[in-house]
Each structure stands twice: as C-alpha cells, then as structure tokens.
Structure 1
Amino acid sequence: MTNDIEVISQFPALTAEEIIDIEKNLRNKFGYPAIPEDYKAFLGKTNGCLFEVHAEDDFVALALNLPFMQLASVAGIFGVWQPKYENLTGVHPEWPELFASNQNSKENFNVLPDQMMSFAYEDESSGSFFAMSVAEEDFGKIYYYHDDYLYTLFGRKRILESHGYCYYDRKIEGILKKQGVNVAEIEYLRAKGHFDSEEVISNVEGLSAECLFELKRTKFIPIAESLDDFISKLYLESC
C-alpha cells in the first residue's frame, strides 16, 4: 500500500484475549470456525480503519480487471465495537462495524454464503463489499462482492452490449461444465429462467460438494490470497 494513503484507526487495538473472545462470538453467531491469523494481527494493531487520502480527487482503489468493472474503491476495514468504548473520545462508532455488517449481509440481504465473512467496505452507501473466506477449502482468501442491484442496472447491460454475455451466467456455466452437466440441460435451465446459482442448485440433481461450494460463491470474485495481500494491492486512483 502506498505511503500516500493514511490509515485512521476506528477503535483501540484489541488485546489477545479480546480477539479470542471475538473469534468465539463470531463462531457462535455466524458459524465461522476461525479467522485468519493476519486478520487477528490486524485487529491487534488497528481495530478497524478508514483509508483516507489528502488529494481532493484521489481515492483508494483495488484493481479488479473484470469485463464490466476495472476497479473498486476501498473506504475501510470493519472494526469490532466493544462496550468499553462507549464513553471514549476519539472513537468512531458510526463507521461500519464487523458484527453489524455481517448480520446485515447474512440476515437482512442474504448475500453472504456460509463461512464467508464480510470484513471491508467499498463505500458506506454502497451494497458492494469485500469478504474473507473462513472455509477450509480457501481459508483466508479475499473476494469482492459487487452490488447486485448496480450490476443488474449497469454491469450486466455493459457486458451484454460489449461482449454479448452475462458475466455471472458464464461463471455458472463454467462450473456446471466442469461438473459434467450436459450442455443441453444447461441451455434448458437458461431458457426456463433458472440460470441463477440457487435455482440451479434446486433444479439439478447429483451436484458434487465442490460444485455446490463454487455455485454458492458465484457472485464473489477472488481478488487476493490473504488480508495482507489485499492491503498490499491498494493504491491511489484519481477521479
């Protein structure tokens, strides 16, 4: 990450004991078996942060290289609110918080797959966010979720006009072909309007555990191998 990006702490750094309690509470509330070591180290140094730049037209970005989107802004990383912060000066309780954000993404909007934890946000007003896998298959890997409403309005239209296909439909098709699903059945599902990952899961029998795992993550784009890798890829972009 460039030195021109200022990291503003959200809450005081957490102790090792507090991080153990947070990991336990995440397991109890959301079923996350564990959280990656680099994320624990981050919480022990900076319990949530806002990325800030001083040039008026610059913002913190991450390259995506998607056919419908080339980069995403990164506003900050969620902190964990503790009751002891209630009367402290200099904390920012209005910024997005880890438990509240995961509850919102899982329960209110139902966009987070099992064992996927949202940990950073694109913008406070955006439905897009960054998630960290806590599953055994890809533990610690970082993904980007693009606001489905915005994709429907702009991204899908843009890629259909320029490339003639839907990005997420093609991802589903690739997963099914790798599974060995007959091309005719894939086209039948598309024609019936069932070319959505959850609909495919409901309408296709005999899908392997690996295939189901990938289908449930169709709208999550892998962008980094770890939190440290994610942070190292952040850079300044001019509007």
Structure 2
Amino acid sequence: MFQATQTTVSANVLRAMAPEAPVISLTGCQQNELLRALSREELIGLFVHLDLVPLEAGKRLFDFGDKMEYAYFPTNAIVSLQYISEDGGAAEIAVVGREGVVGVSMYETERANCTAVVQTAGYGYRIKASVLREAFFSGGALAQQLMRHTSALFAQLAQTVAGVRHGSIEQRLCRWLLERLDRSLSNELKVTQEMIANMLGVRRESITCCAGKLQEEGLIEYRRGTVTVIDRDAMVRRAGGCYSQA
C-alpha cells in the first residue's frame, strides 16, 4: 500500500542542477495546481518520489504506443497532446499546463494513445508511473483529482472537435491562444504562425490573415515569434462557443 514517507529529499532529487533551476520543495510542488489541491500529508507521501526536471520546447515526453514510464506535473511548462498521422502531420487534441498532469497510466500494460510534446519550455515534476498508479489505487484526494483532470481533458477534446466542425479559423485561433494564456504566467506567448497553423491543421496564410485582423483591432500584438494578448475579454467574445474556461 502506498504510504507517506519522510519529508527529506532523496539523493536522486538533490542531484546537481543548473544554478538557474528552481529548487525542489513542497512549496515548489504546489506551483502545479493538481498537487496543490492535495492535503499536506498526501503531498508529503508523493514528495520523495518527485524529480524536478527541465522541460525543453520540442521535447517529446512520449509517443503514441509507448509504454508510459513517467508522469509529469508541469509548473510553468505547457505540453501539447497531439495525434501524429502516418505522413508526419500533427493535430493537437488537448493542452496541459500547471493545472494538470501528463502521462497518467492506470494499468501496467497501458500504452500512450497520443504523443506529448513540450510546446512552452519550463519545468515540471516527474514521477514514475508505477508510483503514481499505486497512489491512485490507494484512494484519497489524489485519485479524485486525477479523475477530475481526466474528465476535463475529455471535455477539452470534445470542444476541440466541435471547434473543427463548427468554428471559423478566427474562432479556433482565439481559442488556441486563450488556452495557452490560461496556462501562462504572463500575457506573452512564444509561438510562431507556422506552429499555430500546424496545430490547427490550416494554411499558414489563413493564420497570418486572422492574426493581422486581431492585431489591427487591438486584441493582440504580434512580433516575430511572440504574441502578446492585449484584450483577453474581447478574445473570449471573439472565440464564441469554441472556448470555455475550465
């Protein structure tokens, strides 16, 4: 049975890290909202199993069909869950940031049903999938939070599908930017038009046209590789039914 252990950090957690890297701590873990929702006792039980790891942009945490060895609780990183077609094309199905977890595996033989790619660099807390699985089946707040997060991912997937079917490119662009803004620590997003076009499955020229219109109307400011959201409320209205804040 999964049990709480000592609060001191194990040696592997205290490995040498870059000077600019944040230091692992209970407070640091709580930068992830799912972990913050746990009781202190339950968080302490997980604490010695957590590794603070850098999540670099473009890093694949796992691919479709992989056995998921680790789960990741992002703090300031943003991870894109994608379906990769046989010809290499990618379509985003959901996005996860500091509100959740990536790579939950409820069964030992379970395989990844999508590909997880870090889209915005940052940090996250990594835990072995087997340890998280044991903690889940022990019940408590962690099990409830994981089920709630899974339900939220399904809702996000449904919204994505509905947006593709019924939303305009402009609405889908606004939703895509808002989803990242909700998970960002500032109103600046490091994204390119090519990245957005690939994730939405549309032509880059279409994104250029829509982004230009939003900039002209004062909703965003776009510089090469950076989008600054100026008027979030107007963006929400423009996204319409394609977006709903969790």
Same fold by TM-score greater than 0.5: no
TM-score, structure 2 length as denominator? Answer: 0.28
Greater length-normalized contact order (CA 8 Å, ≥ 6 residues apart) = 1
